Structures are given as structure tokens and as C-alpha cells.
């Protein structure tokens, strides 16, 4: 039995601008995403001497499925099929610390970590470029989580370009009983009558390249899409006017500010930081 453990970072959207809907049903976006120091941990136990193919999932969360519908399972299956590897048994344990349906790429980063660590276990059968190709087949945020740091993401989010990482502390606040799907947020955005000019991402890029304070350039089209429908989001914005939603929500974040919230209906994550890295090993074989 061989074992490897990976830490998989959450991400936030410093900007998110929706450009147009594609023929495949996704939306073209331009977004600056940043990995942060909030991690899930993915442990894989591999048995190479097994007659057949077996993928077993388990973990600490009762909010996610541990079957073939989980993106981690799909990532493992895609890896083995693409590498044409047979006769294996793997057990994947997901230590879940990133909130579910929160706009933090919790599922995507776990899947990216799975691809990365299977590639490590099988002596780097795939190049980094090939791993990114596999990531793009599974979802929109996996490539960002695999690479890590500050990333300009375009297309549906799978086309990535590195940007400078600024020095910032970050705090998160999420309504405990509210998750917003990407489908809901994008559908509601498409029905909104007013659309802003798509200049926020380029303004953020200039600020990053010039080492400016980026707080005033934070922006998210999807916040505009769902804000009026949820009192929880309105409550956060009222208490923390400098906060911004990440992804399709429902998590908000502030930079260089501590969230002092006593309401038990919210999960709080203070004193996090921007990170330079994506998924990476914490326990070698």
C-alpha cells in the first residue's frame, strides 16, 4: 500500500465579469482568481496488486456524496482511463475544511489535487500541460487550483495566465445554511436588465502590476445577480460594506480586516492569506 497526502487550496474571485453565453451552455468570463490559505486535505492509499479497478471515497463531511457523482471520483476515473492503467485499488479520504457550495472551488480543488497526486504516485505519467488538459475536461476552476497563485482566468475559467500575488490578509464570512449554485447565479445574471462595461478585470491587473492597493478594484457580476434575493447577503454587505462575494456565492470576503461576527448563522474564517501555490504534497510516499 502506497500513501500520498495533498493540500488543496480554496480560491476567491478578486474580479468576475461575465462576457457572454457560449454554445455549450457555459459562459465566457474574465476573472482574477487568487488561492488562499484555507485547505482541504486529500489522502490516497494505492494498492497496485489488485485484480480489477476500484475507487473508494470517504471523508469528514456529511454534505458531499462519496460515490461516482463526486468530482474527485470523476477525476480519478479520468486519470486511470487516460493513462490506460488497470489492476488498481485506491481509497481516497477527503478532509473537508472548505465550505460546500460557497464560491470557493472546494470541489474543484479536491479534484485537481486528486489528479496531481495520482500523477505523483504513477511516476509523473502526465506532463503538467496534460494535467491541465484533464482539469479543463472536468470543470472551470480546476486549472486555477492546480496552478495556484494569482491567475487571470478566461474562457469558461480554464484558460489561465499568472499575475503578481499581492500581500494581503483575507477573512471570509459565509451564511451556514445558504449555498448558491453557479447555474442559479448565471441564470439570474442573464435576466438582469443592466450590464456594466467589462473594465474591472483590466483595472485590477493594472493595480496588481503596479503594486497598488487592490481593495477598491474588487468586483463580481454574480453578486449583482443574486444579491436582491437573499437577506443573508444583504446583512453581510450592510455590516461589512467593503466585502465582496466570491464566485457564485454565498461566501463574502474582506481584505486586511477582521470579521467580528457573533451570529451563529455564519461561518467565519479570519487571518487567512493569499498563497503562491496550488495543490501540493504534505506527506510523501
Q: Look at residue 266 and give its three-state secondary structure.
A: strand
pLDDT in tens, 207-265: 999 999 999 999 999 999 999 999 999 999 999 999 999 999 999 999 999 999 888 99
The percent helix, strand, coil of the chain (3-state, each to 5) is 30, 35, 35
Please identify which of the residues 11, 174, 188, 200 carries the catalytic annotation: 11
Q: What is the pLDDT, as a whole number, of residue 149?
A: 98
If you write DSSP's letter for every residue of 134-200 in order, what string do you get? Answer: HHHHH-SSHHHHHH-SEEEEETTTTEEEEEPPP--EEEEEEETT----HHHHHHHHHH-S----S-H
Please identify which of the residues 141, 147, 174, 200 carries the catalytic annotation: 141
If you count DSSP H runs as helices and E runs as strands, how many of each does the chain have, helices first? 8, 12
C-alpha grid cell, residue 212: 497598488
Domain boundaries, the chain: 1-285
Q: Is the pLDDT of residue 54 over 50?
A: yes
Strand partners, 45: 3, 91
Catalytic residue at 141? yes
Sign of CA dihedral 250, 11, 185, 111: negative
16 phi-psi bin (left φ>0, alpha ψ -120 to 50, beta other):
beta
C-alpha grid cell, residue 152: 487571470
Reported pTM: 0.95
How far apart are alpha carbons 151 and 274 in whole angstroms? 12
Query: Which residues are CB-neighbours of 141 under 8 A, at least 6 positions away?
Result: 11, 33, 105, 108, 109, 153, 157
Q: Is the pLDDT of residue 203 over 90?
A: yes
Q: Is the pLDDT of residue 1 over 90?
A: no
User: What is the third-level CATH fold of 1-285?
Assistant: Ribosomal Protein S5; domain 2 (3.30.230)
Catalytic residue at 176? no
pLDDT in tens, 59-109: 999 999 999 999 999 999 999 999 999 999 999 999 999 999 999 999 999
Amino acid at each position: 500500500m502506497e500513501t500520498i497526502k495533498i493540500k488543496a487550496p480554496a480560491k476567491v474571485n478578486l474580479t468576475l465579469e461575465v462576457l457572454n453565453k457560449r454554445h455549450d451552455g457555459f459562459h465566457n468570463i474574465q476573472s482574477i482568481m487568487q488561492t488562499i490559505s484555507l485547505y482541504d486535505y486529500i489522502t490516497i492509499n494505492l494498492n497496485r496488486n489488485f485484480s480489477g479497478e476500484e475507487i473508494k471515497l470517504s471523508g469528514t463531511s456529511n454534505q458531499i456524496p462519496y460515490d461516482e457523482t463526486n468530482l474527485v471520483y470523476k477525476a480519478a476515473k479520468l486519470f486511470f482511463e487516460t493513462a490506460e492503467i488497470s489492476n488498481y485499488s485506491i481509497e481516497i479520504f477527503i478532509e473537508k475544511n472548505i465550505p460546500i457550495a460557497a464560491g470557493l472551488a472546494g470541489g474543484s480543488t479536491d479534484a485537481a489535487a486528486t489528479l496531481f497526486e495520482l500523477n505523483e504516485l504513477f511516476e509523473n505519467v502526465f506532463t503538467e500541460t496534460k494535467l491541465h488538459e484533464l482539469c479543463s475536461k472536468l470543470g472551470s476552476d480546476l486549472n486555477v487550483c492546480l496552478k495556484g497563485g494569482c491567475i487571470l482566468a478566461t474562457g469558461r475559467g480554464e484558460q489561465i495566465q499568472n499575475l503578481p500575488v499581492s500581500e494581503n490578509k483575507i477573512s471570509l464570512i459565509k451564511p451556514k445554511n445558504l449555498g448558491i449554485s453557479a447555474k442559479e447565479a448565471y441564470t439570474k445574471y442573464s435576466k438582469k436588465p443592466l450590464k456594466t462595461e467589462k473594465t474591472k478585470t483590466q483595472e485590477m491587473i493594472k493595480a496588481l502590476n503596479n503594486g497598488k492597493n487592490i481593495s477598491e478594484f474588487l468586483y463580481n457580476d454574480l453578486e449583482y445577480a443574486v444579491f436582491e434575493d437573499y437577506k443573508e447577503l444583504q446583512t453581510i454587505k450592510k455590516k461589512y460594506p467593503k466585502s465582496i462575494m466570491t464566485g457564485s456565492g454565498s461566501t463574502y470576503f474582506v481584505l486586511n480586516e477582521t470579521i467580528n461576527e457573533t451570529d451563529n448563522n455564519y461561518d467565519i474564517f479570519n487571518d487567512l492569506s493569499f498563497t503562491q501555490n496550488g495543490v501540493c504534497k504534505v506527506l510523501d510516499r
